């Protein structure tokens, strides 16, 4: 039974849902997108804000990891659990030593200690807690709204909401039945009409931005949902423990403890045995007498740059390899799950992929501004007005005129300046020659 005023038109239902999601959650979508864009370049921004973390003139090779670890322990002698050394991706970066559970941040969901060490001198440059720096504060806002586990779960649900909103926007983009769409309709769909007022201009910008960014937003929303609820997709794909940042199974040393445990350097050499062409990315020290070294390697072709999935566990007493995780042996489900994080950050496609993700993260903010402006005008809360681009046209014409005049001056005087420069060079060369002969 349908009540009076109730519509069964699917487009009307989707429109109401799209507007409700935009008005109710649009600001949060914009916040997550903007903070996500900044987080794509978190390390670069951190180095920009903290120049001491950048090595201007790297010289020589890195010092042994045991020397690096000794410097870290000298500064933090009371931290006896496992440390993870993350090697820099460029010769200008610092080694970062991570300590997952510092007592200073006990009770927080995730706030490890980050110790920055110069790999050429073993100097400890900085000791900071995750969430206390500008860039990690923004990152925590993006991933958990600074509300811990509850915030992380909320961000995941917002990802679902963004997917529904994006799918609804794609559906609403087309004007009714595809059978009746004409070429004129298509041209109108992909046009921005500013002569019909601010509301039409805002709606056209909103529609085109949504269409152009829909695929990227769907990928980011889906991967963000998985990162908030990793067990759901991992269970479905049969890839338990394969999520971003997962340390893998708890592998223990089984050899009898002795007075000659292997060193960090020896653990790295052993780990690279099965993978001689791999790059060392992370090395975790053993925790307790039964702990193992865990060496994280990146092999050629792995899409995950910061957290690659080649892992080797080594007995701290005997030096034997206790376990190996080889991406070449992954099932299709495991391989699929390992793509989630590099897709979300864009690093799966290198520098270009990161730039695309950065740009895509700004789209929800633009969509919110354009959609909310059109809604305010429709409700009479914002005055309709014409869109005047004449100042931009005048500016463009002025720039074009200055550029043309500059080119004309260069064409007119460049040959003369070239002749004068040639004469000066000849005079200088003759003077140097005579000076040497007389000297």
Q: Is the pLDDT of residue 409 over 80?
A: no
Q: Residues 101-109: what's their mean pLDDT?
A: 92
d(CA 33, CA 225): 14
CB 53 within 8 Å of CB 126: yes
Whole-number pLDDT of residue 244:
64
Whole-number pLDDT of residue 2:
45
Whole-number pLDDT of residue 4:
46
Q: Residues 323-346: what's their mean pLDDT?
A: 92
Taking all residues of the chain, what is their mean pLDDT, rounded to a whole number? 88
Whole-number pLDDT of residue 26:
96
Q: Is the pLDDT of residue 7 over 60?
A: no
Checking phi first, is residue 368 left (phi over 0); if not, alpha (psi -120 to 50) or beta?
alpha
Whole-number pLDDT of residue 246:
63
Tell me 251's DSSP state.
-
d(CA 140, CA 36): 10
Nearest to 326 by CA among 267, 275, 277: 275
Q: What percent of the chain has pLDDT over 70?
A: 89
Whole-number pLDDT of residue 190:
74
pLDDT digits (tens, 9 = 90+) for 225-281: 999 998 888 888 887 777 665 667 788 999 888 888 999 999 999 999 999 999 999
Whole-number pLDDT of residue 1:
37
What band does 186 get if pLDDT is binned at 50, 70 and 90? low
Whole-number pLDDT of residue 224:
95
Whole-number pLDDT of residue 405:
74
Calculate helix-pair angle for 148-173, 10-40, nearest 10 degrees. 130
pTM of the model: 0.84
Q: What percent of the chain has pLDDT over 90?
A: 61
pLDDT digits (tens, 9 = 90+) for 137-175: 999 999 999 999 999 999 999 999 999 999 999 988 876
What band does 398 get if pLDDT is binned at 50, 70 and 90? confident
Q: Is the pLDDT of residue 191 over 60?
A: yes
Q: Residues 344-348: what's their mean pLDDT?
A: 94
126: enclosing H helix or E strand: strand 124-129
d(CA 191, CA 193): 6
Nearest to 293 by CA among 280, 303, 305, 306: 280
Higher pLDDT, 148 or 389: 148
Q: Is the pLDDT of residue 411 over 80?
A: no
What band does 125 get if pLDDT is binned at 50, 70 and 90? very high
Q: Is the pLDDT of residue 380 over 80?
A: yes
Q: Is the pLDDT of residue 6 over 70?
A: no
Higher pLDDT, 305 or 82: 82
CB count within 10 Å of CB 129 equals 16
d(CA 283, CA 86): 7
Nearest to 323 by CA among 247, 382, 389, 408: 247
Contacts of 274 (CB under 8 A, 6+ apart): 312, 321, 324, 326
Q: Is the pLDDT of residue 5 over 50?
A: no
Q: Is the pLDDT of residue 60 over 60?
A: yes
Whole-number pLDDT of residue 403:
75
Q: Residues 114-138: what's their mean pLDDT?
A: 96
Whole-number pLDDT of residue 194:
74
Whole-number pLDDT of residue 3:
41
């Amino acid at each position: 039974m349908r009540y009076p005023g109730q519509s069964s038109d699917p487009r009307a239902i989707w429109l109401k849902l799209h507007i409700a999601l935009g008005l109710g959650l649009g600001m949060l979508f914009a916040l997550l997108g903007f903070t996500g864009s900044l987080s794509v370049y978190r390390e670069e921004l951190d180095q920009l804000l903290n120049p001491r973390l950048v090595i201007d003139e790297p010289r020589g090779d890195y010092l042994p990891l045991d020397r690096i670890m000794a410097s870290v322990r000298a500064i933090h002698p009371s931290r006896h659990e496992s440390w993870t050394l993350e090697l820099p991706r460029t010769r200008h970066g610092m080694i970062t030593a991570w300590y997952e559970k510092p007592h200073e941040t006990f009770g927080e969901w995730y706030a490890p200690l980050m110790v920055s060490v110069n790999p050429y001198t073993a100097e400890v440059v900085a000791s900071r807690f995750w969430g206390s720096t500008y860039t990690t504060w923004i990152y925590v806002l993006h991933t958990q709204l600074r509300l811990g586990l509850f915030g992380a779960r909320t961000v995941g649900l917002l990802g679902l909401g963004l997917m529904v909103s994006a799918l609804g926007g794609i559906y609403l983009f087309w004007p009714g039945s595809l059978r009746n769409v004409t070429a004129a309709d298509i041209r109108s769909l992909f046009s921005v009409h500013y002569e019909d007022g601010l509301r039409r201009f805002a709606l056209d910008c909103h529609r085109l931005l949504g269409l152009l960014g829909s695929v990227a937003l769907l990928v980011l929303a889906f991967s963000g949902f998985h990162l908030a609820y990793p067990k759901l997709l991992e269970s479905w794909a049969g890839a338990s423990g394969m999520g971003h940042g997962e340390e893998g199974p708890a592998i223990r040393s089984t050899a009898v403890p002795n007075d000659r445990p292997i060193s960090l350097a020896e653990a790295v050499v052993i780990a690279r045995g099965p993978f001689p062409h791999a790059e060392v990315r992370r090395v975790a020290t053993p925790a307790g007498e039964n702990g193992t070294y865990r060496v994280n390697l990146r092999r050629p072709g792995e899409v995950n740059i910061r957290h690659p999935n080649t892992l080797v566990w080594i007995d701290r007493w005997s030096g034997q390899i206790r376990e190996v995780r080889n991406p070449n042996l992954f099932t299709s489900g495991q391989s699929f799950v390992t793509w989630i994080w590099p897709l979300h950050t864009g690093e799966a496609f290198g520098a270009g992929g990161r730039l695309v993700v950065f740009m895509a993260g700004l789209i929800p903010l633009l969509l919110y501004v354009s959609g909310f402006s059109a809604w305010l005008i429709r409700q009479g809360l914002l005055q309709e007005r014409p869109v005047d681009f004449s100042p931009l046209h005048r500016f463009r014409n002025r720039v074009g005129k200055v550029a043309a005049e500059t080119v004309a001056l260069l064409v007119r005087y460049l040959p003369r300046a070239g002749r004068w420069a040639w004469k000066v060079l000849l005079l200088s060369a003759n003077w140097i020659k005579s000076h040497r002969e007389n000297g």
